[in-house]
Amino acid sequence: MNMAEVIKNEKVLRFIDESAALCNPDRIVLIDGSKAQRDALRAEACSTGEMIKLNEDLLPECYLHRTAVNDVARVEDRTFICCRNKADAGPINYWMDPQEAYKMAGDIFKGSMQGRTMYVIPYSMGIVGSEFSKIGIELTDSIYVVLNMEIMTRVGTDVLDALGKDGDFVKGLHSKCALDETKRYILHFPEDNTIWSCNSGYGGNVLLGKKCFALRIASYLGKNEGWMAEHMLILGFEKPDGDTKYIAAAFPSACGKTNLAMLIPPESYRKKGYKIWTVGDDIAWIRVGADGRLWAMNPENGFFGVAPGTNEKSNPNALHTTQKGTIFTNVVHNLENNTVWWEGLDKNPPKNAVDWKGNPWDDAAKAAGVKGAHPNSRFTAPAKNCPCISKAFDDPKGVPLSAIVFGGRRAKTAPLVYQSKSWDNGVFVGSIMASETTAAATGAVGVVRRDPMAMRPFCGYHMGDYFAHWIEMGKKVKNPPKIFNVNWFRLDDEGNFLWPGFGENMRVLEWIVKRCEGTVGAVETPIGYVPDVKDIDLAGSGVSEETLKELLTVDKETWKKEADGIEEFYKQFGDRLPAELSAELAQLKANLAK
């Protein structure tokens, strides 16, 4: 195919030419979004062993892929924001000078696609052609990346039509190179709308539409253009009378977004007619609507979800979503029927199986405690498969938000739920989020760290300026969403979860919605409003009132220590910390001293 005949945008052609001159691929192939091309790429990936075709009867059009053993999660310490002025990256991001970064990575990319094909992926984040959507072009030498991007985003020549002759786009260049972890870099150039990723083949490092574009680059664009890109699920809460309220929730990686977005209410709620609808499970782009509310849309087209722990009881909707057209990464290959398995799917690990590293997963390995699936193993599944996908999923306007919910994994400290007292107080609540680290990123697991708005690894600019942007957005809306914080992960003294979580989280969502409607009271504490024990419906939950009381406790001494920690955390932002947030911290301290 002659590229110039199909691609009318000079900037796209130049980007392809310059990248090809650098990486020196044998061939360049445009991804057109057709089934014929997709089928051919799937067949090619299977012929080289890059993917394994699974049982067509049990898992139609599904595939298994294993990444390199050293390449199984996002690499936060190798992820850089490359803006001209170091101070603009802020104290939390890793920074590199753009010229040095282009030079350093240019040497790595040089000739990296020799003997390989460079695929050109035109993709849209959001509905193709909608005014709230944005377009990217990813160049990659990985068929796995192409096939994942075709699920996670909207890909094809119609995107080039929407881009037009001189439309702007985010330039993404990815090469697996040699998968050398010492030369692995995920580089963002927000001032150039550019992303470079080398030496990785894992999800968040290489599916450049996702965290790299839709959060890091988009958060920077949002700051300048007056909107927000957030690490949030979006769900619809439908009441028995059919009225649906929309909630966005920011939890750090592997802290329950996909699970909450696809929640199935407890039976008593279902009988009354309550339903939950999924609009998104990971990313929300949020704008000010003409009606003075905030409107959120999901720029993605699929789910890149955590496999372990997903089962018929915890998240049946996610499980059903993965039964067709799905790519599984780093799970167990069940050789008995050519399907997949992971820890927490059921209690019957397959006897004849291969683990995520490609080794036989036999009785000896199991007895030695070897895990079959990697804890960060994932499924890439089309959103349209989801039984509870919202009608609003394909609505370019998105949905109006009634509530924003923050939450993390905290063994103590944070109560099951509390409501902030105002927008600014809610921004404070988001800014002080802390959570235990998970397997979604390389490094230690289970260490509590501050993760403001669940954006610590994903904010493309200075975190202090990001807080200021949140404060500003609040001023632009007459009817801002109410802001809450939840914690499904509080432990008792024996280390057991106090709250059953998953579908039972509906009981907390109900309180949140009623607070938004002003139809339920609350109890004031030094940190905000918590529910009165009688206002959380516990019928059929197995949770006692006593346990609920414990879950809702705000311990002053613990929170005084927390306030000291927040003060320490805030210091690094210097004069870029909005005065509103210093005032909120002072108020918290005063409340605790009372």
Q: Under the rule (CB under 5 A), what is the footprint of Mn ion?
A: 253, 282
Determine if 309 is a binding residue for ligand GTP (CB under 6 A).
yes
193 vs 258 by CB, closer to ligand GTP: 258
Pairing between β-strand 185-189 and β-strand 79-81 as defined by DSSP bridges = parallel
Q: Which does 305 bind (CB under 5 to 8 A by kind): Mn ion, ligand GTP, ligand SPV, none?
A: ligand GTP
Q: Least distance from C-beta 207 to ligand SPV, angstroms?
A: 6
Q: Least distance from C-beta 191 to ligand SPV, angstroms?
A: 23
Q: How far apart are CA 12 and CA 190, in angstroms?
A: 18
What 3-state class would DSSP assign to 406?
strand
Q: Least distance from C-beta 231 to Mn ion, angstroms?
A: 6
Q: How far apart are CA 126 and CA 298, in angstroms?
A: 7
List for the chain the helix, strand, coil content (%; round to 5): 35, 20, 40
Determine if 311 is a binding residue for ligand GTP (CB under 6 A).
no
Q: Least distance from C-beta 457 to ligand SPV, angstroms?
A: 8
91 vs 501 by CB, closer to ligand GTP: 501
User: Which position among 15, 63, 102, 488 is part of the footprint of ligand GTP (CB under 6 A)?
Assistant: 488
Q: Which does 299 bind (CB under 5 to 8 A by kind): Mn ion, ligand SPV, ligand GTP, none?
A: none
Tell me which stretch binds ligand GTP (CB under 6 A): 38-46, 92-100, 124-132, 307-315.
307-315
Determine if 372 is a binding residue for ligand GTP (CB under 6 A).
no
- 255 assigned to active site: yes
CA 420 to chain centre: 24
CA 133 to chain centre: 18
Q: Which does 308 bind (CB under 5 to 8 A by kind): ligand SPV, ligand GTP, Mn ion, none?
A: ligand GTP
Structure tokens at 179: 């998968």
CA neighbours closer than 13 Å in the CB half-sphere of residue 334: 17
Q: Which does 210 bind (CB under 5 to 8 A by kind): Mn ion, ligand SPV, ligand GTP, none?
A: ligand SPV
Q: In what order do the strands lie in the sheet with 52-53?
A: 52-53, 63-65, 327-329, 378-382, 302-306
51 vs 307 by CB, closer to ligand GTP: 307
- SS3 readout for 112-128: CCCCCEEEEEEEEECCC
Residue pair 147/40 in contact by the 8 Å Cβ criterion: no
Q: Least distance from C-beta 98 to ligand SPV, angstroms?
A: 23
157 vs 314 by CB, closer to Mn ion: 314
| Single-letter amino acid, residue 574 | G
Q: Least distance from C-beta 210 to ligand GTP, angstroms?
A: 10
Q: Least distance from C-beta 485 to ligand GTP, angstroms?
A: 14
Q: Write the CB contacts of 44 (distance below 8 Å, at least 6 apart in sequence).
A: 143
Contact footprint for ligand SPV (CB under 6 A): 74, 203-204, 210-211, 253, 282, 304, 440
Go through 90-125 and write b for each residue having 16 or more CB atoms within 10 A of its CB, e for each that does not: bebbebbebeebbebbeebbeebbeebbbbbbbbbb
Length of the chain: 594
141 vs 230 by CB, closer to ligand GTP: 230
Q: How far apart are CA 76 and CA 94, in angstroms?
A: 8
What 3-state class would DSSP assign to 525?
coil
Q: Which of residues 266-305 bind ligand GTP (CB under 6 A)?
A: 281-282, 305
Residue pair 331/356 in contact by the 8 Å Cβ criterion: yes
Q: Which of residues 244-263 bind ligand GTP (CB under 6 A)?
A: 251, 253-259
- From the candidates 62, 255, 388, 516, give the one annotated as an active-site residue: 255
Q: Least distance from C-beta 60 to Mn ion, angstroms?
A: 27
Q: Which of residues 490-509 bind ligand GTP (CB under 6 A)?
A: 497, 501-502, 505
Determine if 314 is a binding residue for ligand GTP (CB under 6 A).
yes
Which one-letter DSSP state was computed for residue 444?
-
Burial of 34 (0-12, 13-18, 19+ CB in 10 A): exposed
Q: How far apart are CA 89 and CA 460, in angstroms?
A: 7
Q: Which does 502 bind (CB under 5 to 8 A by kind): ligand GTP, ligand SPV, Mn ion, none?
A: ligand GTP
Give the containing element (helix H, strand E) for 303: strand 302-306
15 vs 213 by CB, closer to Mn ion: 213
Q: Which does 204 bind (CB under 5 to 8 A by kind): ligand SPV, Mn ion, ligand GTP, none?
A: ligand SPV
* Neighbour tally for 500: CB within 10 Å: 15
Q: Least distance from C-beta 127 to ligand SPV, angstroms?
A: 21
250 vs 585 by CB, closer to ligand SPV: 250
Interface mask toward ligand GTP for 419-448; x: CB under 6 A: ---------------------x--------
Q: Using CB atoms, what's the residue nearest to ligand GTP?
A: 501
71 vs 282 by CB, closer to ligand GTP: 282
Q: How far apart are CA 88 and CA 96, in angstroms?
A: 11
- The number of residues that bind ligand GTP (CB under 6 A) is 22
277 vs 304 by CB, closer to Mn ion: 304
Q: Which does 62 bind (CB under 5 to 8 A by kind): ligand SPV, Mn ion, ligand GTP, none?
A: none
Q: Using CB atoms, what's the residue nearest to ligand SPV?
A: 204
25 vs 280 by CB, closer to ligand SPV: 280
The alpha-helical segments, DSSP class H, found in 279-352 are 316-321
Q: Least distance from C-beta 204 to ligand SPV, angstroms?
A: 2
- Nearest Cα neighbor of 248 from 263, 240, 260 is 260
* Neighbour tally for 49: CB within 10 Å: 10
Q: Using CB atoms, what's the residue nearest to Mn ion?
A: 282
User: Which position among 137, 306, 455, 486 is part of the footprint of ligand GTP (CB under 6 A)?
Assistant: 306
- SS3 readout for 68-108: CCCCCCECHHHEEECCCCHHHHCCCCEECCHHHHHHHHHHH
Residues near ligand GTP (CB under 6 A): 251, 253-259, 281-282, 305-306, 308-309, 314, 440, 488-489, 497, 501-502, 505
Known catalytic residues are 255
